[in-house]
Amino acid sequence: MSVELGLLVVFRGGQVGYACAPYPAVLTFTSWFGVLGLTYFIVWFNSSVAKGIHLGWFQNEKRNLKWILTYFLVPAGILGGVELCGVVEISHPCKEVGTISILQPNIDQSVKWDKKYETNTFNEMQNLTQQASTKKPDLILWPETAAPSFLLWSSDDLTRVKNMVFKSNIPALVGCLDLWRSGIQMETAFNAAIHFDSTGKPVGLYRKRHLVPFGEYVPFQKYLLFLGPVVRDLGNFEPGSVYCRFTAGKFSYTPLICYEAIFPQDVRLALQTGADVLVNISNDAWYGRTASAYQHAMMAVVRSAEERKPLFRAANTGISLITDPYGRLLDQTPLYQEAVLTGNVLVSSESSWYYRFGNWIVWFGLFISLGSFLIAIRTKLKNHD
C-alpha cells in the first residue's frame, strides 16, 4: 500500500481525471482544459450530486426541492453536453500518413543488465525487428534501454544495431544509454534514444530531460550522502537539455522516455518542436504485475487526447499501445508477452486548445477566486459601515 501511494505522489497519479482514459468522449475535455480541468469537473460533478443527495435524504424538506433539482439536473445537463461535444469531436476524420511498428521484447528485469545475457537480448531484438520489417512500416520503435549498453561508445553493439536497421531498410528509434566524456576520467551518463535512418546511420540523439528522483538520480545528493549506498545500482544520470524532432516517412515525431509522458507541461514543450506524433518508450518491468503498469500507460493516453496527437508507446514488458489523435485506443499488448504491434499513424488537422495555451484554466480559476475574494471583502466592509 505504501509503495503504491508513493508512486501516486511521484508520478502525479492522484488526479482523478486519469480515470477517464478509457472513455474518449469525456477525454476530449482535456483538449480544452487539460487533465487538471477534467479533474476539477469530476470533483465538482460528484460533490454536486452528493449535496443533492444530502438535501433530499437527510433534510427532506420541500423548500429544498429546487436545490435538489439544481444539484442533480445542472450537473447531469453539463455532463450530457460534454459527452455530446466529445462524440461530435471524435467523429472528425483523421488523415493517415504512415505506419509504425512497436517491439515488445519482454526482457526480464533480473537479467536485463547482466552482461551474460546481453547477446540474447540483442538476438531477441533482431528477431523482432525482422518480424516488424515484414509489415514495411515507416518506423520501428524499440523500448527504453532496449539496447542495454552505452551504444554509441560500444563499437560491437553499435555495429550490430546498424546492421539490423540496414537489413530492415526501415528507420528505428533505439532506447539505450549514452555518455558525454570530458577529459580522461570525467563522464556524464544519460538515459537516451537514438534515431537511425534506413541505412543504419545514427542521425539523431535524444537524452531524457525529466529524470526519476531516487531512481535515475538522487536529489540534493551532496547533502544526502547516506542515500548513496541505497540507490547507486539504480542509476546516476544527468538530464538532457533539449527536446528533439525526428522524421520518418511522411511524418515527424518527438520521443519521450518513460515517465516523461505523464507530465502535461513536458509533453506540451516537446510537441512545440512541431512533431506530428508523440512517441513514448518505457521499461515498466520495475512495476511487476501491479496496477502501476496500467496506470502509467493510461496517463500517456491522456497526453494523446490532451495534445490531439497520436501516441505510439513501446514498453519492454508492456503495456505497448497505439492511439489516434483523440486518445482512442486503436491497439495494445498485454503485460509480459513478447509482441510486435503495427498500426497506422492518424493525424488531425486541428491542434488542441491545450496545446496552444497550456494550463490556462488554472490561471482563469485563480482570477475568479481572487475576484470572488475581493468582492466578498468589499461586501463585508460595506455592510459593516
- Contact of 321 with 296, CB cutoff 8 Å: no
Q: Is 84 exposed, middle or buried (0-12, 13-18, 19+ CB in 10 A)?
A: exposed
Contact 218, 306 (CB under 8 A): no
H helix and E strand count, the chain? 11, 12
**SS3 call for 148:** coil
Nearest one of 101, 95, 173 to 136, comparing CA atoms: 101
Per-residue pLDDT, 112 = 85
User: Residues near 348 by Cβ (< 8 Å), separated by ≥ 6?
Assistant: 92, 94, 95, 308, 309, 325, 326
Alpha carbon distances (Å) from 161 to 125, 152, 355? 9, 10, 35
Which of 244, 258, 306, 307 is an active site residue?
258
Phi, psi of 368 (to 5 degrees): -65, -45
Q: What are the residues facing 277 on neighbouring strands?
A: 253
Ramachandran assignment for 69, one of left (phi > 0), alpha (psi -120 to 50 degrees), beta (any other): alpha
Q: Is 20 a catalytic residue?
A: no
- Give the pLDDT of residue 351: 87
Predicted confidence at residue 231, as pLDDT, reads 43
- E-only strand ranges, 80-218: 95-104, 139-141, 172-182, 186-196, 202-207
d(CA 269, CA 255): 12
Distance CA(101)–CA(322), nearest Å, equals 10
Please tell me the total number of residues recorded for the chain in this structure.
385
Task: Reply yes or no on whether 260 is catalytic.
Answer: no
What is the per-residue pLDDT for 245?
Answer: 97
Say whether 362 sits in a helix, a strand or coil: helix
Cell numbers for 47: 460533490
**Distance (Å, whole) CA 308 – CA 34:** 11
Indicate the pTM of the whole model.
0.87
* Separation between Cα atoms, residue 314 and residue 282, nearest integer Å: 6
Instruction: Provide Rg for the chain, Cα atoms.
Output: 24
Q: What is the 3-state secondary structure (H, E, C) of 316-348?
A: CCCCCEEECCCCCEEEECCCCCCEEEEEEEEEC
* Lookup: cell for 242: 533539449
* pLDDT at residue 5 in the model: 32
The reported pLDDT for the residue numbered 7 is: 41
Instruction: Tell me if 257 sits within 8 A of 193, measured CB to CB.
Output: yes
Q: 208 catalytic, yes or no?
A: yes
Choosing from 144, 216, 260, 307, which is the catalytic residue? 144
Are 219 and 231 within 8 A, CB to CB?
A: no
Q: Which CATH architecture has domain 95-357?
A: 4-Layer Sandwich (3.60)
Residue 103 CA from chain centroid, whole number: 18
Query: Which residues on adjacent β-strands are paired with residue 191?
Result: 177
Grid cell locating 339: 509482441
User: pLDDT truncated to tens, each residue of the chain (385 aa)?
Assistant: 333 333 433 445 678 889 989 988 888 889 899 998 898 888 888 888 887 777 766 665 555 667 767 777 788 888 888 778 878 787 788 999 999 999 999 999 888 888 888 999 999 999 999 999 999 999 999 999 999 999 999 999 999 999 999 999 999 999 999 998 776 666 789 999 999 999 999 999 999 999 888 777 777 666 655 555 444 445 678 999 999 999 999 999 999 999 899 999 999 999 999 999 999 999 998 888 888 899 999 999 999 999 999 999 999 998 999 999 999 999 999 999 999 999 999 999 888 989 999 888 888 888 888 888 888 888 877 777 6
Domain boundaries, the chain: 16-91, 95-357
pLDDT in the model for residue 3:
37
Which one, of 137, 147, 135, lies nearest residue 175 by Cα? 147
Q: CA 146, CA 177: separation in Å to the nearest integer?
A: 9
